[in-house]
Amino acid sequence: MKKLYIETLGCQMNKSDSERIAGILSHFGYCETDIEKEADLLIVNTCSIRQLSADKAYSKLGVWGKRKKTRPSLKIAICGCVAQQDKEKVRQRAPYVDLVFGTHNIYQLPELIKRIENDEKICAITATPVICNQNDFKILRKDSVNAWIPIIEGCNNFCTYCVVPFTRGRERSRNPEEIITEAKNIIKEGFKEITLLGQNVDSYGKDLHNPDITLANLLRDINKIEGEFRIRFVTSYPSDITDDLIDAVEECDKVCKYFHIPMQSGNSRILSEMNRRYTKSEYYEIVSKIRKRFPDVAITSDFIAGFPGETEEEFLDTLKAIDELELDYSNTAAYSPREFTKAGKMTDKFLPEDIKYERLERLNEKNREACLKSNEKFIGKILTVLVESKTQKDGKTILNSRADNNKIVHFEDDTKNTGDFAKVKITRAQTWCLYGVPIE
> Which residues in this chain contact ligand SF4 in the complex, by CB under 6 A?
155, 157-159, 162, 164-165, 199-200, 237
Q: Considering the complex, what minimum distance in angstroms separates the CB of residue 132 from ligand SF4?
A: 23
Letter for the amino acid at 138?
A: K
Q: Considering the complex, what minimum distance in angstroms separates the CB of residue 231 from ligand SF4?
A: 21
Q: Considering the complex, what minimum distance in angstroms separates the CB of residue 264 from ligand SF4?
A: 7
CA angle at 425 for the pair 419 and 426, rounded to the nearest 5°:
100
Q: What is the DSSP letter of 130?
A: P
CA angle at 430 for the pair 429 and 434, rounded to the nearest 5°:
50
Residue pair 438/409 in contact by the 8 Å Cβ criterion: no
Residue pair 199/242 in contact by the 8 Å Cβ criterion: no
Q: Considering the complex, what minimum distance in angstroms separates the CB of residue 332 from ligand SF4?
A: 14
Q: Considering the complex, what minimum distance in angstroms separates the CB of residue 431 from ligand SF4?
A: 26
Is the CB of 283 or the CB of 378 nearer to ligand SF4?
283
Q: Which residue spans within 199-286 are E strands per DSSP?
A: 230-234, 258-260
- Residue 342 Cα distances to 155, 166, 206, 310, angstroms: 16, 12, 25, 15
Is the CB of 105 or the CB of 199 nearer to ligand SF4?
199
Q: Considering the complex, what minimum distance in angstroms separates the CB of residue 158 from ligand SF4?
A: 6
Residue 173, CB-side half-sphere exposure with 13 Å CA sphere:
19
Q: Considering the complex, what minimum distance in angstroms separates the CB of residue 300 from ligand SF4?
A: 15
Residue pair 248/220 in contact by the 8 Å Cβ criterion: yes
Is the CB of 164 or the CB of 363 nearer to ligand SF4?
164
Is the CB of 214 or the CB of 236 nearer to ligand SF4?
236
Q: Considering the complex, what minimum distance in angstroms separates the CB of residue 72 from ligand SF4?
A: 39
Is the CB of 15 or the CB of 407 nearer to ligand SF4?
15
How many CB atoms neighbour CB 270 within 10 A?
A: 22
Alpha carbons 183 and 191: distance in angstroms, whole number? 10
Would you state the torsion angle of the CA atoms of residues 236, 242, 245, 250, taken in this order, to the nearest 10 degrees? 110
- Residue 245 Cα distances to 239, 265, 281, 361, angstroms: 12, 24, 20, 35
β-pairing, 2-8 vs 421-429, is unpaired
Is the CB of 154 or the CB of 436 nearer to ligand SF4?
154
- 10 Å CB burial of residue 282 (0-12, 13-18, 19+) is middle
User: In 3-state terms, what secondary structure has residue 152?
Assistant: strand
Is the CB of 4 or the CB of 162 nearer to ligand SF4?
162
